[in-house]
Amino acid sequence: MAEAAVAKTPADPKAEQDLTDGFHLVIDALKLNGINTIYGVPGIPVTDLGRMAQAAGIRVISFRHEQNAGYAAAIAGFLTRKPGVCLTVSAPGFLNGLTALAHATTNCFPMILISGSSEREIVDLQQGDYEEMDQLAIAKPLCKAAYRVLHAQDIGIGFARAIRAAVSGRPGGVYLDLPAKLFGQVMNAEAGRKSLVKVIDAAPAQIPAPDAVKRALDVFKSAKRPLIILGKGAAYAQADDAIRTFVEKSGAPFLPMSMAKGLLPDNHPQCAGAARSTVLKESDVVLLIGARLNWLLSHGKGKTWGEAPRKFIQLDIEPKEMDSNVEIVAPLVGDIGSCVNALLEGMGGKWPKPPADWTGAVTKKREDNVAKMAPRFMSNAVPMDYYGALGVLRNVVKERPDAILVNEGANALDLARGAIDMYRPRKRLDVGTWGVMGIGMGYAIAAAIETGKGVLAVEGDSAFGFSGMEVETICRYQLPVCVVIFNNDGIYRGTDVNPAGSDPATTVFVKGSRYDKMMEAFGGVGVNATTPDELRRAVNEAMDSGKPTLINAVIDPAAGSESGRIGNLNPQSVLKKK
Ligand code: ADP
Ligand code: TZD
Ligand code: MG
C-alpha cells in the first residue's frame, strides 16, 4: 500500500485516524493488480497522481504527447496480456490519448485510458469549466467499455471492472474517467483497503465445445491443400508451444500475418510467407487462428483468393467474428490456448500429412521467391534503395533474434515486412489493423520498458514525423532504442512536383533532411548513413551498445511506389489529370 495520510479528525483532536484518499486508492488499486507501469503526460488534475505513483514504486513514463503514451500503453497490453495504462489530463489530453484507445480496441489489445476530468456539476450544465468536456460520452463509442468513478469508495470496483473489461474475451481499450474531485476525497484507510479488489482470473479460459472441435478437425482432415493462417491474436495468446506443436503435427503450410511473424520462425520449412499469393489462391481449407478476414486478407474473397471452392475454419474468442465476411463452416470459439490444445488432443497420436504435391508446390514457390530476392538484398547502390538497406537490417535481426522490431511507413513498412525474417514470437510490432502512422516511438519505448530488450525501429521519414519528438523521451530514460529512418524525402517518394509551381508538392519534405541531428540534440547518438556499409556499422554499434541512436538512412527519393503495396486502394479520378 502507498503510505496513507495521517490526520487528526476535527471532531476529536485527540483521536488519530488513519486516512487515505482518492490519489492513494488509485495507486493501491493499480499495484494490487500488478500494474507497475503508467504511460502518460502530467497536468491538472493528474500531476500529483503521477508523482505519488512514482514515489510508490510504479514506473511512470512521461511522454511529450499523449498519443504516443497511448500507443505505448496499447502495445504494452499486447506484449504482457495485462492492460497497458495511459494517464492523461482532461479534454485535450484525453482527446490526444483517445486515438490510441480506439487503436487498441481495433487491434484487440488490452489498454486502459485513465483520464482526469473537470467538475461534473459544471460540465453537465455546460458552464465553461477549465478543460470542460463530457469525456465519458465521447469515449464510449470508441472503446470496449467506459466507466466513471465518482466516489473514493468505488475506486476499487472501478478498476476491477476496467481491468476485466480490457483483458477478458476479445481484449480491447477501456476508458476510466476520474473527475478531479475524486482524488482529494478522503476516507478511512482500513475501509479504503477493504474497498480494493484484486481481480481473480481476469481473462478466464474459454473452453471450446467438443463438437465444435470435432467439426473443425473433420473439415481440416478433409483438406487436399490445407493452409493455417496465424494472426496477431495467436501471438497475443502466448500459447506458443501449443501452436508450434499443432502446426508441425498438421504438416500444413502456415502463413503468418504481420505481427504473428516469428510465432514459428520465418525460416521454418512449413512457412509460406514467401509464397503468400500461391497459398491464398490455391488452398482448399483454411484454418484461421486469431486472424480476422478483414481487408488485410481481402475479406476472404475476390481475386486474391481465386475461383477454387474453399472452406474456412476459424478459431477466435469472439463469436460475432464468425461469418463476418464469408461463411465459416467450422467456427471454433474459445481462447486460443484452450482451442489449440483441444485440437491437439482430438488429433490423437497420428495425423495424416497433407498431400505431398501441395506441400511440395508451396515449398518450391517459396524457394524460388527467396532465391529471386536474394541478390536484391546485396545491392550496394548509392543512394541506397530499400532492398540494399533492408539487406543490412535483415542480417542485424537474424543475428539478434531477441531484438524487437518496430516498423511503420508505406514502402518502409511493406518492404521491411517481407525482407526481415522474424524468429521469435511477439518481436514484430507494427501499424496493425488500421495501418496507422504514429505508433513508432510509443511502441519502441514501451517495448524497451516492458521487455528490457533492444529495439530496432524501422521508420519511413513521414511515419517517424508523427511521433518524432519522443526521441527526447528515449534519451531521457536512456532506452536501448535504435531508430533507422528510411529517408526518401517524403511520403512514398520524394520526387513529386507541384504542377502549379509555388508551394512544394503535397507528398514531399525538405530535401536532404538530417533527422540524426534530432537525436543529437538530446544527447543521443546520431548517424547519417549513405551506404549499406555505413548503415551496417551504425546499426550494429547501436544494438550492441544499447545507446539511444537515430540513423538517417539516405534512400533514393525515386525508389518507392505510391502507397507501398496497397496503391490499389487509392480512389481514381475519372477526369484526366491536368
Ligand atoms: P491480424 O491483423 O494479425 O490478422 P486480427 O487483429 O485481425 O489479426 O485478429 C486477431 C483476432 O484474434 C481477433 O479476432 C481477436 O478476437 C482474436 N483473439 C485475440 N486474443 C485471443 C485469444 N486469447 N484467444 C482467441 N482469440 C483471440
Ligand atoms: N495518417 C495516419 C495517422 N495514418 C496513415 N496511414 C496516413 C496518415 C496515410 N499514410 C500512409 O498510409 S503511409 C504514410 C501516410 C502519411 C507515410 C508514408 O511515407 P513514409 O514511408 O515516409 O513513412 P515511405 O517509405 O516513403 O513509403
Ligand atoms: Mg518516406
Residue with cell 489462391: 281
Last residue of a domain, one of 125, 160, 195: 195
Report the alpha-carbon distance of residue 514 to residue 553 in Å, rounded.
Answer: 9
Burial of 417 (0-12, 13-18, 19+ CB in 10 A): buried
Give residue 205 CA to ligand 3 midpoint distance, Å.
43
- For the whole model, what pTM was predicted? 0.96
Query: Are both 341 and 392 inside the same structural domain?
Result: no
Strands, E, within 94-197: which ranges?
A: 111-117, 145-148, 173-179, 186-188
Decide: helix, strand or coil at residue 169. coil
- What is the position in ligand 2's atom list of the atom closest to the CA of 493? 26
Give residue 451 CA to ligand 3 midpoint distance, Å.
29
316 touches ligand 1 (CB under 6 Å):
yes
Give residue 316 CA to ligand 1 midpoint distance, Å.
6
Query: Are both 67 and 181 inside the same structural domain?
Result: yes
Decide: helix, strand or coil at residue 136. helix
Task: Confirm if 257 and 229 have CB atoms less than 8 A apart.
Answer: yes
Report the alpha-carbon distance of residue 413 to residue 402 in Å, rounded.
Answer: 20
Would 171 be classed as within a structural domain? yes
How do residues 480-506 score in pLDDT, each as one tens digit?
999 999 999 999 999 999 999 889 999
Query: Are both 54 and 184 inside the same structural domain?
Result: yes
Structural domain boundaries enclosing 331: 210-364
340 touches ligand 1 (CB under 6 Å):
no
Report the alpha-carbon distance of residue 51 to residue 40 in Å, rounded.
Answer: 12
Among all bound ligands, the one having the nearest atom to the CA of 562 is 2
Query: Are both 359 and 394 inside the same structural domain?
Result: no
What pLDDT is attached to residue 308? Answer: 87
Would 323 be classed as within a structural domain? yes
296 touches ligand 1 (CB under 6 Å):
yes
Residue with CA nearest ligand 2 atom 26:
492
What pLDDT is attached to residue 503? Answer: 97
Would 90 be classed as within a structural domain? yes
154 touches ligand 1 (CB under 6 Å):
no
CATH of residue 34's domain is 3.40.50.970
- What is the position in ligand 2's atom list of the atom closest to the CA of 488? 26
Does 171 sit behind a cis peptide bond, omega within 30 degrees of 0 on the bond before it? Answer: no
81 touches ligand 1 (CB under 6 Å):
no
- What is the position in ligand 2's atom list of the atom closest to the CA of 409? 23
Q: Long-range contact list for 353-357, CB < 8 A, 24+ apart?
A: 353/251, 354/223, 354/224, 354/225, 354/226, 354/250, 354/251, 354/252, 355/224, 355/225
CA distances from 389 to 94, 297, 440, 486 (A): 39, 28, 19, 8
33 touches ligand 1 (CB under 6 Å):
no
Q: Which three cell numbers stand for residue 505?
A: 508538392
Last residue of a domain, one of 166, 195, 224: 195
Report the alpha-carbon distance of residue 462 to residue 560 in Å, rounded.
Answer: 13
Under the banding of pLDDT at 50, 70 and 90, the label for residue 28 is very high
Q: Which three cell numbers stand for residue 180?
A: 478531479
HSE, CB side, 13 Å, CA atoms: give it for residue 242.
18
Query: Are both 132 and 48 inside the same structural domain?
Result: yes
Query: Are both 360 and 383 inside the same structural domain?
Result: no
Under the banding of pLDDT at 50, 70 and 90, the label for residue 338 is very high
Under the banding of pLDDT at 50, 70 and 90, the label for residue 111 is very high
Q: Which residues contact 302 (CB under 8 A, 6 or more apart)?
A: none
When pLDDT is averaged across residues 368-377 and rounded to a whole number, the result is: 96
Query: Are both 302 and 400 inside the same structural domain?
Result: no
Q: Which residues contact 406 (CB under 8 A, 6 or more apart)?
A: 429, 430, 439, 440, 443, 444, 447, 455, 456, 457, 458, 459
Would 204 be classed as within a structural domain? no
When pLDDT is averaged across residues 384-413 and rounded to a whole number, the result is: 98
Q: Which three cell numbers stand for residue 474?
A: 528515449
Is pLDDT at 261 greater than 60 in this prediction?
A: yes
Identify the residues whose C-beta falls under 6 Å from ligand 2. 409-412, 435-438, 460-463, 486, 488, 491-492, 560, 564
233 touches ligand 1 (CB under 6 Å):
yes
What pLDDT is attached to residue 14? Answer: 45
Give residue 231 CA to ligand 1 midpoint distance, Å.
6
Is pLDDT at 1 greater than 80 in this prediction?
A: no
Number of domain units in the chain? 3
What pLDDT is attached to residue 480? Answer: 99
HSE, CB side, 13 Å, CA atoms: give it for residue 462.
21
Under the banding of pLDDT at 50, 70 and 90, the label for residue 411 is very high
- Ligand 3 ion: Cβ-proximal residues, 5 Å cutoff: 460-461, 488
Among all bound ligands, the one having the nearest atom to the CA of 263 is 1
Query: Are both 348 and 242 inside the same structural domain?
Result: yes
Last residue of a domain, one of 149, 165, 195: 195
335 touches ligand 1 (CB under 6 Å):
yes
Report the alpha-carbon distance of residue 72 to residue 100 in Å, rounded.
Answer: 9
Side chain identity at residue 84, one-letter code: G
The stretches of 273-410 forming alpha helices (DSSP H) are 276-282, 336-347, 356-377, 386-399
Under the banding of pLDDT at 50, 70 and 90, the label for residue 577 is low
User: What is the H or E stretch that residue 529 is in?
Assistant: strand 525-529
Would 332 be classed as within a structural domain? yes
Among all bound ligands, the one having the nearest atom to the CA of 462 is 2
Is pLDDT at 210 greater than 60 in this prediction?
A: yes
How do residues 282-334 score in pLDDT, each as one tens digit?
999 999 999 999 999 999 999 999 998 999 999 999 999 999 999 999 999 99
Is pLDDT at 9 greater than 60 in this prediction?
A: no
- What is the position in ligand 1's atom list of the atom closest to the CA of 259? 3
Give residue 461 CA to ligand 2 midpoint distance, Å.
9
CATH of residue 302's domain is 3.40.50.1220
Report the alpha-carbon distance of residue 439 to residue 430 in Å, rounded.
Answer: 7
| DSSP codes joined into one string, 2-23 | PPPPEEE-SS-TTSEEEEEEHH
Give residue 108 CA to ligand 1 midpoint distance, Å.
7
Would 108 be classed as within a structural domain? yes
Nearest to 389 by CA among 487, 481, 490: 487
Does 45 sit behind a cis peptide bond, omega within 30 degrees of 0 on the bond before it? Answer: yes
Q: Which residues of 323-353 are buried (b: 16+ CB within 10 A; e: fewer)?
A: eebbebbbbbbbbbbbbbbbbbebbeeebee
Give residue 556 CA to ligand 3 midpoint distance, Å.
10
